[in-house]
Chain A
Amino acid sequence: MGKFDNHGLKAVTPLGGFEPRVDAFTGLLIREVSDCALASLAARQGDEDVLQSAAKSFLGGSLPEAAAWNEHGDFAAWWMGPDLWMVSAPHDEHELLAAALKEAVGDAGSVVEQTDGWCRLDMEGSRCFDVLERLCNANVRAGKPGDATRTSMEHLGVFLLCREPGQRYSIIGPRSSAASLHHALVTAVNAVI
């Protein structure tokens, strides 16, 4: 899984495979996405503006507003809380994302590697609304592209990123519970489709 695997340790995905898992249903797909590096970025007190502009030049665009996500080239970012974002980039090219980001923002920000803290499951297909309303209280039918909602699915705290309303979403939850999150999603899909 990428050039940093040249050492003697072989990576596994959050769902435990050597390759990401794909589950296909009639008109709907659940895809495990494991090729992203993640780093959290928090503004230091008083340096919020400095951080914003440093992040902007690093990412190639502004950090997203509250409850939103955006992407600029390789980089995507979503809002996690006041003055706190998660930045994502392809793992192959950016395994050391956290270090690079820290270098870019310096003392204006606190950066923490989060790559393996999460599992990401992408859902694609026409029945996404029906599936998601069995899983979380987010008002998905009123959602728009770029929404990033922290919500809870079967007792698991997750980020729900809307890529295309009703059609494409990313669900990002805690890695240790990847199997439970996957089970919840598959169960909900089977209940609907």
Chain B
Amino acid sequence: MTDAVINTGAMAFRADGSNGARKGVQVNRLDGGLINGARKLGFSFDGKRYEGHEGDTLASALLANGVRLMGRSFKYHRPRGPLTSGSEEPNALVELRSGGRQEPNTRATVAELYDGLEANSQNRWPSLQHDFMAINDRFSNFLTAGFYYKTFMWPAAFWEKLYEPIIRKAAGLGSISFEDDPDAYDKGFLHCDLLVIGAGPTGLMAALTAGRAGAQVIIADEDFLLGGRLNAETFGIGDLAGSAWVEQAQAELVSMPNVRVMPRTTIIGAFDHGIYGAVERTADHVLAPEAGKPRQILWRIYSKRAMLAAGATERPIAFENNDRPGVMLAGAVRAYANRWAVTPDQTVAVFTNNDDGHRTAADLIAKGVKVTAVVDTRADAPAVEGAELFAGAQVIDTKGRLGLEWARVRLANGTTRDVPCGALAVSGGWNPNVHLTCHQRGRPAWREDIAAFVPAGDLPQNLSVAGAANGDFSTAAALRTGAEGAIAALSELGIEAKAGDLPKAEDAPVNVTPFWYVKEGKGRAWLDQQNDVTVKDVKLAHQENFRSVEHLKRYTTLGMATDQGKTSNMGGLAVMAELAGKQIPEVGTTMFRPPYTPVSFGVMAGRSVGEEFRPTRKTPSHKWAEEQGAEFVEVGQWLRAQWFPKSGETHWRQSVDREVLQTRNSVGICDVTTLGKIDVQGKDAAAFLNKLYANAFAKLAVGKVRYGLMLREDGIAYDDGTAARFAEDHFVVTTTTANAVLVYRNMEFARQCLFPDMDVQLISTTEAWAQFAVAGPNSRKLLQKVVDSEFDISNEAFPFMGCGEVTVAGGCRARLFRISFSGELAYEIAVPTRYGDAMIRKLMEAGEEFGAVPYGTEALGVMRIEKGHAAGNELNGTTSALNLGMGRMVSKKKDCIGNTLSEREGMNREDALKLVGFKPVDSSATVYAGAHLMNADGEVSAATDQGYITSAAYSPVLESSIGIGFLKNGDARKGEVIRAVNPLEGHETQVEVVSAHFVDPEGERLRG
């Protein structure tokens, strides 16, 4: 990858023995590990200062400092410490950072330590050590599964006022600051032949094999160090230590331009057809991102093939009080010791049902940590060197107030033994990380020999699985299946890859006897530590007949929240299976869905926040309007001037009234560029428009404009505009601002799908022309000063609904249309957009002698209501041409979209709604849009509803509030006084039914 910067830091601090850490302060720090002891990092937890090292996570650094207690549990507020060393962590959730950057529920086990890191515990008050809410633990008998459903049912009235606020306050774990996140998040797109998910031995071997073959490869891992378990184990590969082999593999991968190595990158979901979502944490490991740089990037990866090499997750065993800080997974304890040079305590015991747990004992002993006992459930457990072995034994209870002090063991002979230990390393076996294989509804299958679910059929398209994720747990198998998988995937793409010689590695068999929970004991044995779900809760759910795994999950909350049950689902299934007398595979699994681990909202939003939520479209006169102090309004993506306040005007109505009156009395100018414009050409252009518009266009003369109404196929009107004919085979049609995209799409649908042999070509020209409405009795006089004198625009030469090409300002090409939305003598003039800014200035300058005003969308709206012109409020998706008073326009002599179904009986009722106007009887009263119409007398009800008001405004011309709207049989009811009511807000106004054309009903002005 040419420019990719890879800096995991791994190469910088491969340590040899002594790592330079200050052991006096970091009481549980060991020798060795992959931390850089020379680089100290200061951080704080709950306000207290600590010191860790480069390469630490927050959890490893806290453990090094002797801190095991990191959180309180969700429901019972029980003290908890880390269970794991990875992203599956249920317990050690903290609030990271502060202010706008505060992030709740962050797993301390994956939070990379940096200098100045600030973390706080959550879900406790007043402090982690003394949490008053721990009182819940005393009432645990009442807070069992289904507690909410049972307890808060009655009385119903209590729910909203009492129960919900209390629950909401108690619910959740971390808190947010409610401040704006100051950081940026990016999105991006990547393409590859092979995506390798996970950079353990399997993934690295796959990436090496594919990279050497020249394929485009992406290898991603959620960790900041590549290597997976190789960093946590002591076994080597070939002649090298595991971590040294990783370093070598990484160096080779980084050197290949066709390979992109992405540490700190989680593949969060497998989507259709080889698309994967990935979150790269580019700046979570530093105090703050550099200016302009994102904190995280959400990548959309298009892969031709993908390989899941995500490894496996260890599962715990449930027993009484197995949640004390210090009780951890055995593989995690080993990882802390080997990778981070940390032990959770100086005395550790092990509880296991498989051989892998013994590795933890061996590795700790080698590091000089005292292992007080290895408790193995198997009677035939292998021997242990350096620690006492209790074969066929079980841990039945633990003690310790805020952390583990000792564990009680039931020996094979029936006696008990109390084993002192500050940490208990528990292993119940390993579950392959099958999650992504299930994102397309694939279901895993049970493999008896390893007592775990493995990926089965129905994998996402072109995804293969290798290594531990597929149940092949040994390092040798990982390397082999990684290489083989890459070769197979690439051969499907026609790329030949070679296996090469695989290095030698351990190939130990899986030796496990399933053991899920200890049956002895009356206390609580925790299955899901994040949701405080116990074995008893599952039993209760079963007893109450919530037996399907999906019901079990919802009823007990097992497997929910940030960890999605990565360490708990299996145990829950096993208990359920036993209770139901079934085998585990018969019980089945719940569905895994994206994301694999929690994803911040910020990265989902990307750059689409605040003003950049969507692109902004600016009109050609925008800069000039800003200079005039215009108020702007968003119309779709457009910013349009709403009104232009003048000094002394204190209320928007004053500005709008002035703009309306001055336009009607002299002349006003409005930027109407935002109307959609579509150029329609071709031999069949007229025939095509005949199909699209309800009214006829074939006979429109060249040089003329006609109003057109578009219907949906169901006969409902959906857009209107004008079509200007520039030549026999050339029209320019306009659409409303809001529907420009939809109309264009529908026109293309008609062109390609309905009338494929019509000769029609379409293209949008909305942006190409700056178009201004010039309206009012002086509009012609004004335009005569701007349009070059060789063009005659007198009433005779350029009558109402005329159009043509002219030049303005001494030679600038322009288009002139004589159309009117305001009802006044009016024109629209268009120039190439680059001249739009100059044109508005020119028009205003020419209009100075007439007192020309610019007007905004508010005045535009007032004038069209005064004129009774329908707009979006009237074309509201429920109204037909008949309702709009345009029933006669719909041509019966031709086929057009919507024509046939608009003839349906129900749409042509005698008492159909008709568009009319409304004037308050008391001219000081207000007419409200949205008000419903009721007869003068009688009850106000849905049954007596007569229609509704769609648009209302104060008319400065009539000096009264007015409205237009739809009234049953409205055009026969003019003069009738009815009521406009809004029972919701308590309005009732007596209104007189009038013509919708308040101003110039005969249309003399616009023809003058």
A and B touch in the complex (CB under 8 A): yes
Cβ B763 vs Cβ A42 within 8 A: yes
Residues of chain A within 8 A (CB-CB) of B833 are 116-117, 175
Q: Contact size class for B?
A: 35 or more
Q: Which of B2, B682, B807 contacts A44 (CB 8 A)?
A: B682
Is residue A16 contacting chain B, with contact meaning CB distance below 8 A?
A: yes
Q: Is B939 an interface residue (CB 8 A)?
A: no
Closest B residue, CB atoms, query A47: B759
CA–CA, A45 to B757, complex, Å? 8
Complex contacts, A118 vs chain B, CB 8 Å: 767
Q: Tell me whether B616 and A141 are in contact (CB under 8 A).
A: no
- Interface segment, one of B144-152, B340-348, B545-553, B834-842: B834-842
Complex: how many Å from CA A66 to CA B47? 63
Number of interface residues of A (CB under 8 A): 56
| B681: chain A residues within 8 A (beta carbon) | 42, 110, 112
Contact between B682 and A154 (Cβ–Cβ < 8 Å)?
no
Q: Is there contact, CB below 8 Å, between A139 and B617?
A: no
User: What is the CB-to-nearest-CB distance from B51 to chain A, in angstroms, rounded to a whole number?
Assistant: 33
Chain A proximity mask over B635-658: 1 for CB below 8 Å, otherwise 0: 001100000000000000000000
Residue contact A117 to B768, C-beta cutoff 8 Å: yes
Interface string of B820-855 (1 = CB under 8 A from A): 000000000001111111110010000000000000
Judging by beta carbons under 8 Å apart, are B839 and A191 in contact? no
Taking each of B190, B810, B834, B839, which has the highest tally of chain A beta carbons within 10 Å of its own beta carbon?
Answer: B834
Task: State whether the Cβ of A11 lies closer than 8 Å to any Cβ in chain B.
Answer: yes
Contact B810 A127 (CB under 8 A): no
B6 vs chain A, min Cβ distance (A): 14
Q: How far is the CA of A133 from the CA of B278 in the complex (A)?
A: 14
Chain A 125-139, CB-CB to B under 8 Å as 1, else 0, gives 011011001101111
Is B835's CB under 8 angstroms from A11's CB?
Answer: yes
> Closest residue of chain A to B832, judged by CB?
A116
Complex Cα gap A43–B629 (Å): 46
Tell whether B766 is near chain A: CB-to-CB under 8 Å. yes
Would you call B616 and A45 a contact (CB within 8 A)?
Answer: no
CB within 8 Å of B: which A65-92 residues: 84
- B191:A191 contact, CB within 8 angstroms: no
The number of A-B residue pairs with CB atoms under 8 Å apart is: 159
A6 to B184, CA, bound (A): 46
B447 within 8 A of A: no
Q: A44-B683, A154-B608 are in contact. Are A134 and B184 (CB under 8 A)?
A: no
B292-300, B913-921, B957-965: which lies at the interface: B292-300
What A residues does B759 contact at CB under 8 A? 44-46
B891 contacts the other chain (Cβ, under 8 Å)?
no
Closest to A38 in B: B768
Q: In the complex, which residues 167-193 of chain B have their Cβ closer than 8 Å to any Cβ of chain A?
A: 184, 186-191
> From A175, which residue of chain B is reached at the shortest CB distance?
B767
The 8 Å CB contact of A179, one of B608, B616, B765, B810, is: B616
B414 at the binding interface (Cβ < 8 Å): no
Cross-chain contact B809 with A8 (CB below 8 angstroms): yes
Determine the chain B residues whose CB is within 8 A of the CB of A62 once the complex forms.
none
Query: In the complex, what's the smallest C-beta–C-beta distance from B734 to chain A, in angstroms?
Result: 15
B937 at the interface (CB under 8 A from A): no
Residue B764 is within 8 A (CB to CB) of chain A in the complex: yes
User: Bound complex: CA of A16 vs CA of B811, how far in Å?
Assistant: 22
Q: Chain A nearest CB: distance from B288 CB in Å?
A: 15
Looking at the complex, which one of B612, B617, B811, B836 makes contact with A183 (CB distance below 8 Å)? B612
Chain A residue with the shortest CB-CB distance to B807: A7
Over the window 159-175 of chain A, the binary record of Cβ atoms lying under 8 Å from chain B Cβ atoms (1 yes, 0 no) is 00000000000000011
Provide a sorted-by-A list of 20 A–B residue pairs whose CB atoms are within 8 angstroms. Answer: A7-B807, A7-B808, A9-B812, A9-B835, A9-B838, A10-B837, A11-B835, A12-B836, A40-B763, A44-B682, A45-B759, A107-B683, A110-B681, A117-B764, A117-B766, A130-B3, A133-B189, A184-B607, A184-B615, A191-B184
Closest 8 pairs between A and B when the two form their complex, measured CB to CB: A190-B292, A116-B833, A110-B681, A180-B615, A117-B768, A42-B761, A8-B809, A9-B838
